[in-house]
Amino acid sequence: MSGIGHLAAGFAAKPVAPQAPLWVLLAASETNELLYFLFTAIGVEQKVVTTMDFNQGVRHLTSSSNPWSHGLFMSIVWSVLAAGIAFLVYRNRRTAGTIGLVVFSHWGLDFLMHSNLPLFFDGSPLVGIGLENSGPGFIFITLLDLGLIAGGITIYLATRKRKTTPVNTRSKNQFSITR
Maximum CA extent, the chain: 73
Confidence of residue 45 (pLDDT cuts 50, 70, 90): confident
Q: What is the pLDDT of residues 105-141, one digit of tens each?
A: 999 999 998 888 899 988 899 898 888 888 888 888 8
Distance separating alpha carbons of residues 110 and 141, to the nearest angstrom: 10
Listed range (23-27, 109-113, 175-179) with the worst mean pLDDT: 175-179
